[in-house]
Amino acid sequence: MDKLELLKKLEDDIKADESLPLRESNLVFGEGNHDCEVMFIGEAPGFHEDKLARPFVGRSGQLLDVLIKSIGWERKDVYITNIVKRRPPENRDPLPEEIELYKPYLARQIEIINPKVIATLGRFSMNYFLPAAKIMRDSGKLFKWGKRGEKGENGVLRFIVPIIHPAAALRSTSVLEALEASFKKLPSILTKIEELKSQPESSPEIAGKNQAEDPQESLF
């Protein structure tokens, strides 16, 4: 099956899984370019996302669109989804058990999309990959998740860029400035990843420790 067929099957599997929580809300699966270089992952849908069954379409999504355009990209160039695929009541934070239950489906989604870099939006999606990371300290930095042939998603080395959630920037000018600075780094981060991928597996940057365990040592 091609990527579109695999994604459709994954969506159908989520719909059919009656063990998943929040089934009273609409499924917000994800959208965008399935051959993208950058995959944005938020935490969970909100009110507007639930109504339209699309990710990031409220005020946070409007800001995300502006930020994507500010670096010369379009929304159609990237893929956007969330860890939890349905809206928690009253837009509360997703619970650990909700994240855990939706986790296998996100893993499959990442495997299908296979992006060059994953840009996490907010602390919940950041901590999915980098449990020890801090959002204000590490936003806009490049980390690796797993080692070639070891951890990561299904043994694949992934590159992660934590980014502040756009919702936080709607309430603070200083946070918005930090968010804009993180986005401006994304094009050069893609270039850095190409350089890293061209290095032999024995090189210190590629063969080093899993930064999910020690995120202090960013690659860029």
Chain segment 46-97, per-residue pLDDT in tens: 999 999 999 999 999 999 999 999 999 999 999 999 999 999 999 999 999 9
Considering only CA atoms, which of 127, 161, 196, 130 is closest in space to residue 40?
161
Q: Output the pTM of the full model.
A: 0.91
pLDDT higher than 70, residue 209: no
The pLDDT mean for the chain works out to 90
The residue ranking higher by pLDDT, 216 or 44, is: 44
**pLDDT on residue 154:** 54
In whole angstroms, how far apart are CA 162 and each of 1, 96, 143, 148, 217?
31, 19, 8, 21, 14
pLDDT higher than 70, residue 149: no
Q: Could you tell me which CATH number the domain at 3-197 has?
A: 3.40.470.10
**pLDDT on residue 205:** 53
Report how far residue 141's alpha carbon sits from residue 41's, in angstroms, rounded to the nearest whole number: 16
